[in-house]
Structure 1
């Protein structure tokens, strides 16, 4: 078992890693929100999802967060009429990605706030370690 300061650093690090991956997935979704298929009638970019799991970390004696899987959203693709698009089918309809920008922006904001909270926890832990070292020097 490691000391509480190391444990809190380790927990914050796991949270930072998980939220960083979540931000990467959200960024990919936003970047591909208008990516159609390459050929007529082809499927466009499919929104990616991320799932987390709680995992017991024996070294710190507490639960931690890990990425469980990166999946694909099974929501139907949006269809728009755009006969001039190279990805349009014979009726002029184009399948558009199943990416909802409002959902992605909300996910990005939540992930960013969680990332900042874990970063603040890391900073507080470092501050406590620094204070402990200062106390030990004075003793």
Structure 2
């Protein structure tokens, strides 16, 4: 039974990690049009969550831990908007480095990982219930 509990904890760490990943992606999508308010300012910079394997000392199980949430260093886009107050001398405004297609694909992958971890928890719970039934 302890091993089933460990598997639930491992899957729960995966759920927490993927939920955080989906939150970061949602923030990226929400700010996809957030430009700077001044010509020398920067627009919103895309953020990316990274994970690492971490051993739980109490159980010895390897779980998922958030390593960091870093800013994407890729270049900003440029849009010609000469009337915008954030435009440079040539009339260009820097736009966020958020690509909706990439964010959507990342969101789908995070959703699938979340569902896989949820299914693993359900399977462990079902096995625990069957074990308890056999011991009656």
Please say whether Structure 1 and Structure 2 have the same fold, judged by a TM-score greater than 0.5: yes
Q: Which runs of 5+ in 2 are unaligned?
A: none
Q: Is the 1:41–1:95 Cα contact (8 Å) retained in structure 2?
A: no
| Deviation string, structure 1 residues 13-41 (Cα, Å, up to 9, x no partner) | 00000101100111000110110012233
Corresponding residue for residue 110 of structure 2: 111
Tell whether 2:61 aligns with 1:62. Answer: yes
Tell whether 2:87 aligns with 1:93. Answer: no
Tell whether 2:37 aligns with 1:38. Answer: yes
Give the 3-state SS of the residue equivalent to 1:6 in structure 2. helix
**Greater than 4 Å deviation, 4+ residue runs:** none
Report the Cα distance in structure 1 between the residues aligned to 2:124 and 2:85, rounded to whole angstroms: 55
Corresponding residue for residue 23 of structure 2: 24
Note the C-alpha offset of 1:133.
1.9
What TM-score, normalized to structure 1? Answer: 0.92
CA-based RMSD:
1.3
Note the C-alpha offset of 1:67.
0.3
Comparing 76-85 and 16-25, the one that deviates more: 76-85
Report the Cα distance in structure 2 between the residues aligned to 1:84 and 1:8, rounded to whole angstroms: 57
Corresponding residue for residue 122 of structure 1: 121
Number of equivalenced pairs: 136
Comparing 24-33 and 37-46, the one that deviates more: 37-46
